[in-house]
Amino acid sequence: MRLASIIIAVILPMLILSQTVCFLTASPPSTHYSYVRTLTLYAPAVARSGGGALIQVNLTLAYPGSGMVYFTARPLVEVDTQATARIASYVASVVTGHNYYDYDYYVVMTSKSLVVGGPSAGALMTIGFIALFMNKTVNPYVCMTGMINPDGSIGPVGGLVDKLDAVSKAGYKYFLIPLGQRIVYVEKRIIKNLPWGYYETVKYEPVDLVKLGDEKGVKVIEVGSIFDAMKYFLNTTMSAEISTPEINKEIISGLKEYAEKNYEKASELYNDSQQLFKKLDMLTRIQLYSRYKNINEMINRLKDMLDKKYYVSAYYYSYDVLQQSLSLNLLLKILVGEEKINNLIESLYQSINETYKIIRNTSISNGINPINIDIHMDFYKAINTYTSLISKNETSYTSEDVDSIAKAMIYLYMIHQLYNLTRFFENYNVDLNESLMILYSIADSIVSYAYSLASDVGGSNQYINNAMKLFSMGIDAYTKNYTLASIGLFIQSIVYADLGIELLFINKEDVLINISDYLSNELSIYYSLMNKSNYLALLYLLGKEYRLMKQPADAIASYMKGVMTIIMLNSKIKALGLIEENNNPLPEIPSPTKTPSNSTNNTNTTQITINTTPLMERYYREIVYFLLGVFAGILIGLLIYKAMSDRRKVETVFTPI
């Protein structure tokens, strides 16, 4: 009994007090970090009730970390807003030349009103993380909206008129918006009263945001990339020299040879189809005539590209020409009774096996060859087509299945050509799992955003639809441990989703040309950093030829693929040399009566706090507190025990007999 009393009286208070002291004096979870930097910014948004609003965005950069992104919001926002934080932190690490996985990232978003979610704060978050990496102060007079793309470009967003109104009321003097969105269209409802009632019409009128901003005292500026935005927020600019990519001449020679060969093959298929076409009945001819004529135009266009010596684009365009030519030829053979679809599926199976014997020798022990990623992506597409065909009932085959067979066969045919060119391209040592997870996160974010954005605006396009299919295939390939194929599919889905979003908002050729110009320069910079990669030079030349043919959308897709390849190979790139101080800062602004720094909605907009307390010092301090708690607990316990003993003595003396 005496032992139990000692335990209760001494040990229990000691434990309680020691833990209480530790709890009261311990540092927050950041005790695991050697330093923590925080920054508060304000992002313009659209309130669900209508009008503009500002969201407070608190960013924290912690070192050392493991690449974790912690996100919370009040009220809750859409999932794509959360995924945007990961892209923003990743782009910031690439731009500043830091290893993404050496840090942890915290994002806390709070708003006084319900706002429409989405990735429109992505570019601003990227600027914030860049400022934290560089330990720089943000210009308090600048605000921005825009989606951050994985390549560092700033994508289009909605609600710009409402956001400009919120920015103006908050006292900002500069409002950065995505390139190409100076002119927006706003809904205007017109109601006319008639003797028997009324009718309502809706018109969309153009609004020039630059002029509207001037009326509100805000200078609206279009920016195409995060580097453009840095000039205004951080007074920095890009300093890398831009060198024109040059490709190995043997690669051009090989592509020229294959493009000419593919042209001849497509012509042979077309000539054969002409003879088959004559065997059809009149009604079937009428139904297939437009398709027949279109293939003839495609073949002539391919010939024109070869005559102009656009060999790279001619080679990649020959994919489409061969697929369409073979598809029509196979369909005509089935219609006239010269072929059966079951035989075509069997031929596809044999082609898959023959191709597998070739590509199974593509070892990754010596590094990753980017061309091999394209090869395995196309091979997986062919496999995916075959598995979907054999799962169908024989009576349910349609002309679309014939198209799929033709497409898969051409994929396998072109793989043999690409395989012969792999020796001209460099290998890179890459952590495949790390690259795969990064690409998956980016693809998941941008594809889901493209889908939700298309739903919001009431339309879509072929790029967004293809992006969704490719992303789904990429996940399927990953579940089957086909890493190279999944990487290629994720890259392609990102490219199509990004381009699809641009085309939802931008339909002017001059704006698309400006975007392709920016991406062209960016790819040239990375080309220099990558020690003049032939693969990047190939994509650069492909984009250049598309621009010469006035196909800016295809040029953007080519450049984007190059930049996404850079992300896949990012472990070998350091971009810190791209940033330097700008000697031409923003012009001075007279002190306004109300500025973002003294507005009630914008306190501490540029404050950066750095916690530099050494890690071991914190641990020592907590050990001291723990020991103090132990000693205090023992002392209190002894006093309690003594008081209990004295009480027993008194009770013993006065106990009745």
Cβ atoms of 107 and 58 within 8 Å: the answer is yes
Cβ atoms of 251 and 307 within 8 Å: the answer is no
Lookup: tokens for 297: 């135009």
Lookup: tokens for 470: 């490719």
- Tokens 């103006």 sit at which residue? 168
Select which of 89, 120, 153, 493 is catalytic.
Answer: 120
> What string of H, E and C letters represents the secondary structure of 35-81?
EEEEEEEEEEEEECCCCEEEEEEEEEEEECCCCCEEEEEECCCCHHH
Report the Cα–Cα distance between both ends of the chain, in Å, rounded. Answer: 23
Helix (H, G, I), strand (E, B) or coil at 361: coil
Lookup: tokens for 503: 């085309």
Question: How far apart are alpha carbons 645 and 649 in whole angstroms?
Answer: 6
Q: Which residues lie closer than 8 Å to 575 by C-beta, 6 or more apart?
A: 94, 95, 96, 97, 529
Q: Which residues lie closer than 8 Å to 53 by C-beta, 6 or more apart?
A: 44, 45, 46, 47, 111, 112, 113, 115, 166
Helix (H, G, I), strand (E, B) or coil at 256: helix
Catalytic residue status for 168:
no
Cβ atoms of 421 and 363 within 8 Å: the answer is no
Select which of 93, 136, 153, 163 is catalytic.
Answer: 163
Distances, alpha carbon 339 to alpha carbons 276, 334, 354, 405, 408, in Å: 12, 5, 22, 13, 17
Cβ atoms of 227 and 152 within 8 Å: the answer is yes
Catalytic residue status for 163:
yes
- Would you give the distance in Å from CA 611 to the centre of its chain? 31
Question: How far apart are alpha carbons 90 and 67 in whole angstroms?
Answer: 9
Question: How far apart are alpha carbons 101 and 565 in whole angstroms?
Answer: 19
Cβ atoms of 213 and 164 within 8 Å: the answer is yes
- Number of helices and strands in the chain (H, E): 20, 14
Question: How far apart are alpha carbons 278 and 525 in whole angstroms?
Answer: 55
Closest CA to 446 of 485, 476, 490, 380: 490
Distances, alpha carbon 272 to alpha carbons 39, 224, 286, 317, 500, in Å: 68, 49, 18, 21, 37
Q: Which amino acid is at 66?
A: S
Cβ atoms of 131 and 233 within 8 Å: the answer is yes
Question: How far apart are alpha carbons 414 and 476 in whole angstroms?
Answer: 23
- Tokens 């000419």 sit at which residue? 260
Q: With 0-12 CB in 10 A as exposed, 13-18 as middle and 19+ as buried, what is 564?
A: buried
Helix (H, G, I), strand (E, B) or coil at 655: coil
Question: How far apart are alpha carbons 329 and 332 in whole angstroms?
Answer: 5
> What string of H, E and C letters represents the secondary structure of 263-298?
HHHHHHHHHHHHHHHCCCCHHHHHHHHHHHHHHHHH
Catalytic machinery residues: 120, 163
